[in-house]
Amino acid sequence: MRHGILTLGVALLLSTGSAIASDTPKVVALDPRLEAQADGSRELVIDARIEPGWILYASDFEQPQIGPRAARVTLADPAQPHGPLRSVDAREGHGRSFAGDYRYTYFSERGQLRLPVAAGSTPVTGTLRAQVCFEQSGLCELVQQEIAAR
């Protein structure tokens, strides 16, 4: 009997969790692509469209111990980055926590991240991990989205 109640409880929690997740609006839409460079190398370019009122933290700041999470891209094998992830035209902000003052960069409405990758013709896949925040309320969410570019 106890096992049956526990199973029912877990099933209800899982079904409620998935309903909440499916009702959550997508705050960031990603459009990844590969651009060929004159020297034969390639760049993974990720264009982001961000819902109004939200910001997406960029990649080019030193992540504080407590505070915003910088955007990071992890490539799937066999792709290897050939340089750091760069944020294009990100805005700069400053914050303070009990751990001290910090600087961050972010995008509002639109943003672009660029990552140099090896030359070749193979598609590039990976995962973008970042943080978005709703400026009015201060609500923040972690983002983890798979990307694929050809």
Write out the DSSP string of 101-116: EEEEEEEESEEEEEEE
Question: Which residue matches tokens 């700041």?
Answer: 61
Which CATH architecture describes the domain 26-149?
A: Sandwich (2.60)
CB 4 within 8 A of CB 10: no
Query: What pLDDT is attached to residue 120?
Result: 82
Structure tokens that stand for 79 in this block: 């792709």
**What is the identity of the amino acid at 143?**
V
Query: What pLDDT is attached to residue 99?
Result: 85
Query: What pLDDT is attached to residue 18?
Result: 31
Phi, psi of 60 (to 5 degrees): -100, 55
Query: What pLDDT is attached to residue 108?
Result: 97
Proportion of the chain in helix, strand, coil states, percent, rounded to 5: 15, 50, 35
User: Cis peptide before 116, with omega less than 30 degrees from 0?
Assistant: no
Query: What pLDDT is attached to residue 116?
Result: 96
Q: Give the pTM.
A: 0.81
Query: What pLDDT is attached to residue 77?
Result: 80
Q: Taking the mean position of all CA atoms in its chain, how far away is CA 24?
A: 16
By CB atoms closer than 10 A (0-12, 13-18, 19+), residue 123 is: exposed
Query: What pLDDT is attached to residue 8?
Result: 34
With a cut of 50, which residues of the chain have pLDDT below it?
1-24
